[in-house]
Amino acid sequence: MTTLMTANRNWASRPADERFQNIDAMAAVMAERRDTSSEFYMSPESVTFVAEENQLKLKSNKTGLTADMTNYAFKTLAARLEVPYSFVVSRLRAETVAHILNDRHKVLNERSLVMLQKQGNDRLIRAFTSESYARVWDADLLDIYRPLLDNGWYTPIAFHRNEPASATFIATEADVGKFGGKGGVQVKAGDRVVPSGLYSSDRDMFMMLINRENHDDGYGRPLFSGLMVSHSEVYNAPFKETSFMCDGICLNNIVWGATDISETNYRHVGNAKQRIMAAATKTVTNLIRNHTVNLNSLRDTIKKARGIVLGKYQDDIVDDVYRRKISPLLTKSTLENALELAQKNRDTNGNPFSLYGLFDGLTRYSQTFEYTEDRSALDEVASKILATAR
What mean pLDDT do residues 112-116 have?
A: 94
Q: With the C-alpha atoms ordered 113, 117, 122, 128, is the resulting torsion angle positive or negative?
A: negative
Q: What is the pLDDT of residue 292?
A: 62
Query: Is the pLDDT reported for residue 386 higher than 90?
Result: no
Rank 162-166, 372-376, 381-385 by mean pLDDT and report only the highest.
381-385
Return the pLDDT at 184: 67
pLDDT of residue 149: 92
Q: Is the dihedral of CA 215, 386, 301, 348 positive or negative?
A: negative
| Cβ–Cβ < 8 Å for 32, 23 | no
Return the pLDDT at 70.
Answer: 94
**pTM of the prediction?**
0.79
What does the pLDDT read at residue 261? 84
Q: Which pLDDT score is estimated for 134?
A: 92
Alpha-carbon distances of 206 from 7, 122, 156, 227, rounded to whole Å: 8, 27, 13, 11
Percent of the chain with pLDDT over 70: 94
Kindly compute the dihedral angle of the four CA atoms of residues 273, 278, 279, 282, in this order, to the nearest 10 degrees.
Answer: 160
pLDDT tier at 210 (50, 70, 90 boundaries)?
Answer: very high
Are residues 198 and 234 in contact, defined by beta-carbon separation less than 8 angstroms? Answer: no
What is the residue-averaged pLDDT of the chain?
A: 89
- What is the DSSP code (8-state) at residue 254? P
The band of 191, judged by pLDDT with boundaries at 50, 70 and 90, is: confident
Dihedral in degrees, nearest 10, Cα atoms 289, 295, 301, 307: -140
CB 318 within 8 A of CB 332: yes
CB 6 within 8 A of CB 230: yes
Average of per-residue pLDDT across 204-228: 82
In angstroms, the CA 118 to CA 59 distance is 14
Q: How far apart are CA 168 and CA 191, in angstroms?
A: 10
| pLDDT computed for residue 295 by the predictor | 67
| 127 close to 115: Cβ distance less than 8 angstroms | yes
pLDDT for residue 48 is more than 80 = yes
* Tens digits of residue pLDDT in 23-39: 999 999 999 999 999 99
Confidence class of residue 371 from pLDDT cuts 50, 70 and 90?
confident
Q: What's the mean pLDDT in 249-253?
A: 89
Question: Read out DSSP for 162-180?
Answer: SS-GGG-EE--HHHHHHH-
Report residue 121's pLDDT band, with 50, 70 and 90 as the boundaries.
Answer: confident
Q: Alpha carbon of 113 to those of 44, 52, 97, 234, 300: distances in Å?
A: 13, 24, 21, 10, 50
Quote the CA–CA distance of 185 and 92 in Å, as a whole number: 48
List, for residues 300-346, the tens digit of each pLDDT value. 888 888 899 999 999 999 999 999 999 999 999 999 999 999 999 88
**Confidence band, pLDDT 50/70/90 cuts, at residue 364:** confident
User: Smallest Cα–Cα separation from 354: which of 288, 322, 310?
Assistant: 310
Whether residue 45 is predicted with pLDDT greater than 90 in this model: the reply is: yes
Contacts of 10 (CB under 8 A, 6+ apart): 199, 206, 253
Confidence grade of residue 82 (pLDDT, cut at 50, 70, 90):
very high
Q: Where are the domains of the chain?
A: 2-32+136-290, 36-130, 308-387
pLDDT given for residue 387 in this prediction = 84
* Nearest of 23, 69, 47, 340 to residue 205 by alpha carbon: 23
Q: Is 211 exposed, middle or buried (0-12, 13-18, 19+ CB in 10 A)?
A: buried
Q: Determine the pLDDT at residue 388.
A: 87
The H-or-E segment that residue 245 falls in is strand 239-246
pLDDT score recorded for residue 124: 96
Q: Does residue 40 carry a pLDDT above 90?
A: yes
Q: What is the helix, strand, coil percentage profile of the chain, to 5? A: 45, 25, 30
| Predicted local confidence at residue 183, as pLDDT | 67
d(CA 53, CA 119): 21
Q: In which band, very low, low, confident or very high, does the pLDDT at 104 lie, cut at 50, 70 and 90?
A: very high
- 198-200 vs 122-130, strand pairing mode: unpaired
CA distance linking residue 65 with residue 67, whole number of Å: 7
pLDDT of residue 373: 76
Residues near 91 by beta carbon (within 8 Å), at least 6 away in sequence = none
Confidence of residue 358 (pLDDT cuts 50, 70, 90): very high
3-state secondary structure of 247: coil
CB 23 within 8 A of CB 155: yes
| More confidently predicted of 204 and 175 | 204
